[in-house]
C-alpha cells in the first residue's frame, strides 16, 4: 500500500496555539512518526520565517492576506490555489483543518481539476459552529454549496455530525473523529491532597462563549457556603478586564487568581483539584481532554463534544450552560466528597486512554487516508 502524501492547510499554525492549532501540530507530528509524508500550508506571519521545519514537518507560510475585507478573501483564495497548484505533484490528499476557512473551497476546486482527495474538519458546533459562520459570508455560502464534494468531512462530536446531516451532507461523507491528547505528557495528577485549600481551575480564552462570568458567580456561592477553595483562571482574551471587575464586585478577588496565558498546561493541571469548563459552546475542548488525562474530576457544561466525552456522574459531571446554581452545586459536591471525586477522576483517565489517546486518533486518520487513497478520486461537479 502506498504511503499517503498529505498537505495540511490551516489559517494559523505554531507559534499561535489555539485549540485547532494545537491539534493540527500534534496530529501532523504523530502522522509523520507513522511514515506519512506531510507538510503544512498556513498564513504568513510577521517576524516568522516563510519556511521552516517544525517537529520534522515542512511548514510553508505562503497564504497571503491584506487588511481590506474583500481583498482579504481574494488574496487568501488566490495564494492557496497557487500554492496547491505548484505543489500538486507532492500530495494526494488535502486536509483542511478548519471547515469555515477559504481553503476548503479552494481544496475542492483543486480536487475537481487534479483528482486530489479532500478531507475537511469541522472544528466547532453549536453557537460557534463552522456552518453558522459560513452562512454569514458570501464566500462561506459558496463553500457550503460545494461542501458535499469533499471526500470526507470530519466531525468532532455527535452535535457536529447532526449539524452536517441537517444541511444535506451525505451520511457516507461524514466521519466522526474526535480530538486526541498525548496521555504520556498529560499524566495522572499528583497534587498533594493533604493541602488544606483546594484549587479549582479554568483554562481557556476569556470571551463570552467560555462562560467564565457564570463560573465567577458560582464560585462566589461556593465560598459563601464556607468552602475553603481558590479559583485559578488561566488564559487571556477580550473579557479579562470585565471579569476582573466582576470578581471585585463579588468580593472574591482575593480568592481568584488570574494567571494569564501559561505555556506549561500540564504543570498547571498538576496543581489542580477540580477542573471546570463552563462554556456556552464547544467543538471538542483540548483542555478538557488534558484535565481528564491528568486524572482530575471535571465539571463541564453539556455542550458540543463535552456531551460525548463525559458520561454524567460516571467520569465527570455535566451541568446546563448559563446556570451558576448547577455549577456551584457540582463544585461543592466534589469539594466535599473525596470518594466521588476520586471515582470520577479515575474514570476520566480511563476514558482518555481508551478513546481519546493521540495514538488512537492517529490510527483513525491513517485508516481514513488509506481508504481514500484506494478509491476513485474524481466526481462530476454537481451544485
pLDDT average, residue stretch 43-67: 94
**Whole-angstrom distance, CA of residue 274 vs CA of residue 230:** 10
Inside any domain, residue 23: yes
Segments forming the whole domain that contains residue 270: 198-355
The grid coordinates of residue 248 equal: 471585585
Inside any domain, residue 59: yes
Task: Tell which wins on pLDDT, 335 or 69.
Answer: 335
- 153 with 103, same domain: the answer is yes
| 172-186, 229-243, 307-321: segment of lowest average pLDDT | 172-186
DSSP 135-175: TTSHHHHHHHHHGGGSSEEEESSHHHHHHHHHTT--GGGEE
pLDDT mean across residues, the chain: 92
- 343 with 366, same domain: the answer is no
**Whole-angstrom distance, CA of residue 85 vs CA of residue 81:** 6
- List pLDDT tens digits, range 159-211: 999 999 999 999 999 999 999 999 888 887 655 555 578 999 999 999 999 99
pLDDT average, residue stretch 120-144: 88
Inside any domain, residue 81: yes
- List pLDDT tens digits, range 258-307: 999 998 999 999 999 999 999 999 989 999 999 999 999 999 999 999 99
- List pLDDT tens digits, range 319-341: 999 999 999 999 999 999 999 99
Strand order, beta sheet including 117-122: 51-54, 57-63, 37-43, 5-9, 93-96, 117-122, 152-155, 174-176
* pTM (predicted TM-score): 0.90
Confidence check: pLDDT of 346 > 90 = yes
Query: What CATH number is associated with residue 147?
Result: 3.40.50.2000
Amino acid at each position: 500500500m502506498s504511503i499517503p502524501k498529505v498537505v495540511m492547510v490551516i489559517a494559523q499554525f505554531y507559534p499561535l496555539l489555539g485549540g485547532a492549532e494545537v491539534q493540527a501540530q500534534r496530529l501532523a507530528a504523530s502522522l509523520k512518526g507513522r511514515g506519512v509524508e506531510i507538510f503544512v500550508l498556513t498564513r504568513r506571519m510577521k517576524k516568522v520565517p516563510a519556511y521552516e521545519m517544525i517537529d520534522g514537518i515542512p511548514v510553508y507560510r505562503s497564504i497571503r492576506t491584506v487588511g481590506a475585507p474583500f481583498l482579504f478573501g481574494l488574496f487568501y483564495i488566490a495564494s492557496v490555489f497557487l500554492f496547491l497548484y505548484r505543489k500538486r505533484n507532492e500530495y494526494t490528499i488535502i486536509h483542511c483543518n478548519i471547515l469555515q476557512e477559504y481553503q476548503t473551497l479552494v481544496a475542492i476546486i483543486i480536487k475537481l481539476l487534479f483528482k486530489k482527495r479532500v478531507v475537511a474538519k469541522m472544528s466547532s458546533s453549536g453557537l460557534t459552529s463552522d456552518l453558522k459562520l459560513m452562512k454569514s459570508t458570501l464566500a462561506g455560502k459558496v463553500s457550503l454549496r460545494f461542501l458535499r464534494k469533499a471526500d470526507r468531512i470530519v466531525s468532532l462530536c455527535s452535535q457536529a455530525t447532526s449539524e452536517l446531516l441537517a444541511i444535506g451532507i451525505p451520511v457516507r461523507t461524514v466521519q466522526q473523529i474526535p480530538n486526541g491528547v498525548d496521555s504520556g505528557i498529560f499524566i495522572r495528577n499528583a497534587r498533594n491532597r493533604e493541602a488544606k485549600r483546594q484549587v479549582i481551575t479554568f483554562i481557556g480564552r476569556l470571551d463570552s462563549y467560555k462562560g467564565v462570568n457564570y463560573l465567577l458567580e458560582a464560585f462566589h456561592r461556593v465560598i459563601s457556603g464556607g468552602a475553603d477553595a481558590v479559583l485559578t483562571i488561566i488564559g487571556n482574551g477580550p473579557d479579562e478586564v470585565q471579569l476582573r471587575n466582576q470578581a471585585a464586585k463579588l468580593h472574591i478577588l482575593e480568592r481568584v487568581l488570574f494567571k494569564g496565558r501559561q505555556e506549561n498546561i500540564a504543570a498547571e493541571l498538576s496543581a489542580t483539584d477540580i477542573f471546570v469548563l463552563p462554556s456556552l459552546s464547544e467543538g471538542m475542548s483540548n483542555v478538557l481532554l488534558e484535565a481528564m488525562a491528568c486524572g482530575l474530576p471535571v465539571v463541564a457544561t453539556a455542550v458540543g463534544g463535552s456531551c460525548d466525552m463525559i458520561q454524567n456522574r460516571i467520569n465527570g459531571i455535566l451541568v446546563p450552560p448559563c446556570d451558576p446554581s448547577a455549577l456551584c452545586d457540582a463544585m461543592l459536591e466534589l469539594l466535599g466528597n473525596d470518594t466521588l471525586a476520586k471515582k470520577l477522576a479515575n474514570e476520566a483517565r480511563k476514558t482518555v486512554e481508551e478513546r481519546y489517546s493521540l495514538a488512537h486518533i492517529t490510527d483513525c486518520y491513517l485508516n481514513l487516508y488509506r481508504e481514500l487513497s484506494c478509491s476513485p478520486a474524481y466526481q462530476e461537479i454537481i451544485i
